[in-house]
Amino acid sequence: MGKFDDLPEVRRKGLEKMEQVYGFEMNDMEGDFFRYTADHLFGDIWQRPGLSDRDRRLILIGMLAGQGAQDVLGIQIPAAYAAGELDDAALREVVILLCHYAGWPIGARLNALVEETIAKAERARAKAAQGEK
């Protein structure tokens, strides 16, 4: 039995998708803002056919970069990387493209986040490899 099984179907689907997209554990919460986020955005919009999660993530990253939303990019970039939606090369290409469309300062901040994400993953892999020996 899953931890969301006692919730209405739309909330369960929304919370499960939120966990998948964000890459961390979610808890059910009260209030209209959370209801619209979980039930509508993740229970419906992120579930629609026509775009893959990777497609949606690329659109979201581009939009967030254009708005200079570093706080949310700090969630989305590592989550996309951890989910395998964007690898080192793809993330670096996103930076190059967005530098030219969103502006160099925004691209530079995005580049720092991308390189930090990649370096953190490399350190974790190296640590895991040391543990295997």
The model's pLDDT over 34-87, given as tens digits with 9 standing for 90+, comes to 999 999 999 999 999 999 999 999 999 999 999 989 999 999 999 999 999 999
Asked if residue 59 lies in contact with residue 97, where contact means CB atoms within 8 angstroms, the answer is no
Residue 69 falls in which region: left (phi positive, over 0), alpha (psi -120 to 50) or beta: beta
pLDDT at 7 over 90: no
Instruction: Give how far the C-alpha of residue 67 lies from the chain's centroid of Cα atoms, to the nearest Å.
Output: 16
Q: What is the DSSP letter of 31?
A: S
Confidence (pLDDT) at 121: 94
Confidence (pLDDT) at 8: 82
pLDDT at 1 over 70: no
CA distance 52 to 20: 13
Residue 91 falls in which region: left (phi positive, over 0), alpha (psi -120 to 50) or beta: alpha
